[in-house]
Structure 1
Amino acid sequence: MERGNQSSISEFILLGLSNQPKQERLLFFLFLIMYLITVLWNMLIILAIKTDSRLHTPMYFFLSNLSLVDICFTSSTVPKTLANHISGNKAISYNKCLTQVFFFSWFGGLDSIILASMAYDRYVAICAPLHYSMIMTPNVCVNLVAVCWFWACINALIQTLSLTRLSFCGHNVIPHFFCDLSVVIRLACSDTFLNDLMIYTVGGLTAIMPFIGILISYMHIFVAVLKIQSTHRKQKAFNTCGSHIAVVCLFYGTVIGVYFNPTSTHTAQKDTASAVIYTVVTPMLNPFIYSLRNNDMKGALKMLFTKKPSLSP
């Protein structure tokens, strides 16, 4: 990604999580442990779904994609943070910063769209169970996921390319541990109206529209579940959706707190703490939330560890 002649700086300085050496060492090991747990546990979820034929359903297909996206999402920021700590060099080049913005925006947007796809799957399963197999066919699921990846990529590309038009007049210190789009924009000394417009239109559609879709899906699900006479079936329906609701609340709660609050309420510490939750903590907790509340997933993981997978023909 070329800068042209717009910027007078060649790199940014990432302040990281703390300027205290003892705190930095503690945070380094904490981040390393959480990152390893995130990658390993999400990979186990993907392997368990692939090797157990009982989990070859739309719900688990979307879950495996979510696990893959979570690995990519946290990998777009954490390895660079760890590398900066080891090297003692907090600088990141202009091009690498824009690359980080692109991948962070891509996988962050993809996370929200995949969550919306999972909500739609639960809506069809509970509100139209007799037509579920006809609606959620393998081709429909694959095409839906492909559209999710494509749309999130287009959004990230637009947001990143819009940064190349900005001028940076020497102020290159980012009070964060990664190149966050909104933070980088605030460093520019040129007009950022178009960039802000892109965030609230294209970026907003990528984040808000899936959230609205999730809300609408669960409104219909809630009404449908209330009509169920059997207490056991009602409890089973709520349990099916419980893990997904927990992940949605965790993800969107922190994202809304950072990106959709008035600017006057923002502080570097608050934004960094919220960013840690949705970039590191949420991808780590997602597989635990889905596996610990799901007997089929627990069974698949157990078979994976005992090396007795049920392979599909």
Structure 2
Amino acid sequence: MIEITNTMPLGIKQLLTSVTDLKEGEKVLIITDDNKREIGEFVYKYVKEYFDTTMIVMSTREGHGAEPPDMVRAAMENCDVAFGATSYSMYHSKARLETSKKGRLRWVGLQDYALHMFESGGLTADFNEVRRVIDRVSEYYQGKTFTLTTPGGTNMTCSIEGRKPVFDYGTSRTPGSASFPPNAEVALGPVEGTANGVLVFDGSIPHPLLNLLNEPITCKVEDGIITEITGGKEAEILQKILAEFNDPTVYNVAELGLGLNDQNYLCGHMAPDEGSFGNIHIGIGKNLNFGGHVDSPLHMDLVMKTVTIDIDGVTIMEEGLLKV
């Protein structure tokens, strides 16, 4: 690993060291778009001082999981580390999934970033300690029946039988790995068609039209599908976003992602919100990355606070506090 000696924001230094373990001679790609060009250029300014670095600017995609242009995909296949400094997440895109499977690329999603995130918050975490916490929790984060409740009114159960935990340590140190720091989580994919109950989102929905929520959004879930969305103005915005896809798969309950980076806090940006300790995000739409078979045009995460999680009678977390 190259010794980083110049003055730079701690978050940038973490990206080049603790997060990616970049080494001399490796090639770096920065992907950005029209709406996040400030972030892409900020990262490029520092990375190019140490590594062979290329930056590509593309038009802003239509949503999380949308595919990049073919030229971007080709560039992803010819680099060692790619930073996705974009408006929407590319993590669940086929381009990212298939390129990572080829075994060279280390993917780091910087979607929905703001400049303050390079100075304080989750990027300042001890990522080795975060990994230890995730590994410990993951031993318990599996089983048959998952029950989720919150003081805000959530009460949902689903089957997780046969589904194995998926980790995001917030680091991409080995070929084929992918992360979006400072998010750090352990996640499960509910078995399709088994989720039932009520989900009340009172944290955030990382989307340019929503982000930090001013009032709760209540979703009724029947047989794995969100069938009703109620609340105020923000609930109406969510309804419209999903309806415009004109695709029933976007309502699929796809992910149970438990945030485990204790330096994160809810701030209206995707990575810190989803990785905030004691909160959970429910992913909807595409679940291919979680052992499922729903290939939706969307993967969107919705965050709720202060969760209680029970798996097969074992309390994993109680009102935001770890019990394992």
Fold match, TM over 0.5? Answer: no
- Structure number with higher relative contact order (C-alpha < 8 Å, ≥ 6 residues apart): 1
TM-score w.r.t. length of structure 1: 0.26
Structure with greater helix percent? 1
Find the structure with the greater CA-based Rg.
1
Structure with greater strand percent? 2
